[in-house]
Chain A
Amino acid sequence: MTVAPASPHPDQTGFGSPRAAARAALRDTAGAPAVVLGASFIGFGALVRQNGLSLWHGLLSTATGWALPGQIALVELYAVGASVLAIALAVALSNARLLPMTVTLMPLLRAPRWSGWTYFAAAHFVAVTGWAAAMKVCPRIPEDERLPYFTAFAAALWAMTMATTAVGFFLAGAVPGYVSLGLVFLNPIYFMLVFAGDANVRMRALALGAGAVCGPGLHLVAPDWGLLITGLLAGTLAYAAEKLWSRRDGR
């Protein structure tokens, strides 16, 4: 994704005040990305119930994790009895993209008005949907309004996903078995499509293809560590293949 750098021009009018920026952010959350996000957390709530965990586990995971790939990896690995170390490493690797995302977003949100700890609090809400919205809107509004805009936008999504996690959990228990299958199947399909849409870059396509081939096989060999081995092995192979490939192209 390419994003325009922060504009230094004073022609940005913004929303008028930090408070108004936060209100505008709440209005902006109403849209297709939020609907898709809400639906994917309905799927997560259903997955939580399917794996014998309670509603509180699902809500705690959404509240503290709030990055769906890691949450799904955690539930799936916990359910096959993987060790805490294997789960922690898999979750960390699943969510590693949050580091470069935060590194890119933070300079955009800085303003003298807000103190340093504020950014550490706001950082908890960094996740794809809110990040993409802030990267688009924040360069166009005054510095003071950026952090309120991002935080209000992302915190509203966070609250919404807490609600839809609960909805998914209850729905999975209320509908006939063959319908709740569809709820549990939401996220595999959703992420398959996200990744298929992302596969336009060769390095990503290589990593996705290698991972999809290794994942099921290594799961059969080692249900607890197979996922981590898949990531490290297939990911490193893809990275190396890309380096070799681009070196050959370069000549």
Chain B
Amino acid sequence: MGDSAQLWGPVAVILIGGLVTYLWRALGVALSGRIDPEGPLFAWTACVAYALLAGLIARMILLPRGDLADTATLDRLAAAAAALLVFFLLTRRNMLLAVAAGSGGLVLLTWLRGAVL
């Protein structure tokens, strides 16, 4: 029974997540041509979405959960800085290389700490 709760509990939450996401898309079809996508309401929702997601990403880097929580904060910040460096300075916004630098950088730094210390 514990197993089935572990399977079906998240399923319900995920389906609700899928539903609220689809509602935006369906509403977009229904309202297309009738509302101005540049209007103030959309500007405000865009601000809320950007702020919410920036908050989530900052939290995932600064205060991660799970195995990432065992890595050094300094290593995560250094890896993020390496990604920004590759993205903005070393390449013309090459997303793949920059993400590889960030993720690979964290792996490398964590491995080095384990190997050296």
Contact = CB atoms under 8 A, between A and B. Distances in A.
Give the dominant DSSP class at B's interface.
helix
A123 B96 contact: no
A30 to B, nearest CB: 15
Contacts of A227: 52, 55-56, 59
A123 B71 CA distance: 40
Interface residues of A, number: 104
B54 A209 contact: yes
Contacts of B61: 188, 192
A192 B80 contact: yes
A211 B63 contact: no
Given A216-B58, A235-B52, 18 more contacts: A64-B17, A91-B21, A99-B31, A120-B26, A181-B107, A182-B103, A185-B76, A185-B79, A193-B98, A195-B50, A209-B54, A211-B51, A215-B57, A216-B55, A219-B55, A227-B55, A231-B52, A231-B55
Nearest to B23: A92
B20 A97 contact: no
A226 to B, nearest CB: 8
Interface stretch (A19-27, A51-59, A134-142, A158-166): A51-59
Contacts of A29: none
Contacts of A190: 95, 99
B7 A54 contact: yes
A206 B96 CA distance: 26
B51 A87 contact: no
Contacts, number: 314
Interface residues on B, range: 35 or more
A99 B51 contact: no
Give the dominant DSSP class at A's interface.
helix
Interface of B: 6-7, 10-29, 31-33, 35, 37, 42-68, 71, 76, 79-80, 83-84, 87-88, 93, 95-96, 98-99, 102-104, 106-107, 110-111, 114
Contacts of B45: 93, 96-97, 99
Contacts of A151: none
Contact of B17 (A50, A91, A177): A91
A203 interface: yes
Interface centre among B12, B32, B88, B106 (most CB of A within 10 A): B32
B55 A215 contact: yes
A105 to B, nearest CB: 8
Given A124-B22, A207-B50, A103 B57 contact: no
5 contacts: A54-B10, A101-B28, A103-B31, A197-B87, A211-B50
A64 B37 contact: no
B103 A178 contact: no
Contacts of B54: 195, 207-212, 215, 234
